[in-house]
Structure 1
């Protein structure tokens, strides 16, 4: 259980922060940048939820919780010590990726195939979901970059990859099942 009785600690005043294992690192480290961008993704989900309702809102709430799980996973770098830990760190699992895939497939059955790229926009919810998509893509790039030099749970990378696809398809659902998508017209303003 997390208990936050005091919000500021002053321990980061010199540009360092603690990872989940207690090791202090620079706030600009690749790991902190990666999980910080996951947190930013979660903030965009909160904005999208201001425009959502029903099943889509419930799915966004699940995703928001998953993103906290993902941040917890990324801030705990000792992958090889998980089995021996008294309190093993929270890790993303294949079931979370599979749930996204299942939801993408279910939403996609409602949509006609695209014959053009689409522009972010249409409804307010769709525009916010496209923001979620682009920020989650940035988070994915940063996590992949981190994985090139440090241990990262492969399910974390898979989750982010599916998540941006989820946001794309959900954006189309938010645009009247794609009927109100704003289509890209190549060279329109030439």
Structure 2
């Protein structure tokens, strides 16, 4: 690993291309690179969330997820390679069931807010949904048909992982609001729309 990281500024990407883990090179706006970038951004946003005061169990789960996402990025960087497995999905499902059981049922939509940690969890959730869209796009049949790759564009597991992770991040946002002594910020569907601030 040390040898791989000994030179950060290689200048090989100055032409707008970047290298994949299998040694091939693609344009930096390739769908595969977009998916890798969105997963990387999600991991970075979770890093910001980890700067907040969090319950120990939530912190441990998020750190484990960061490692999973690094694996997921590695899988996307090597076409045909598998790092994320059904065991990763099962762990997300277990966390989701555990934390969801601690929350009251939702009778209304909620807004992304409340405590700072909960708001950041919602940011993570929305970035996760973008990563999911990128991974779905990468695996689209029309892209696979047009691609020179001789292996599937992306396996099913990464897509399933980010789909379930976004659900978990939503639930964790609710958990974090309660841990901070607050509650969900509910969307008020019956609110009146006044004219204040419109000069009327």
Q: TM-score, normalised by structure 1?
A: 0.90
Offset from partner CA, 1:142-166 (integer Å, 9 cap, x none):
1001001242111101100000001
CA RMSD after TM alignment: 1.5
- Asked whether the 8 Å contact 2:49–2:120 carries over to 1, the reply is yes
Deviations 1:110-144 (A, max 9, x none): 00110011101111110000000000000000100
State yes or no: 1:106 paired with 2:98.
yes
Change (3 A) 1:144 1:62: same
Gaps of 5+ in 2: 145-152, 194-200
Matching residue of 1:160 = 162
The aligned residue for residue 20 of structure 2 is: 19
For residue 188 of structure 1, report the CA deviation from its aligned partner.
Answer: 2.9
Contact 1:136–1:163 under 8 Å retained in 2: yes
CA distance in 2, matches of 1:187, 1:71: 43
Structure 1 consecutive aligned stretches of length 4 or more whose deviation exceeds 6 Å: none
Alignment correspondent of 2:34? 33
Counterpart of 1:7 in 2: which secondary structure? coil
Which runs of structure 2 are paired with 1:37-76 in the superposition (5 Å)?
Answer: 37-51=38-52, 52-76=54-78
Name the SS of the counterpart of 2:18 in structure 1.
Answer: strand
Higher Cα Rg, which structure = 2
What secondary structure sits across from 2:8 in the alignment? coil
Among residues 146, 151, 155, which one is paired with 2:138 in the alignment?
146
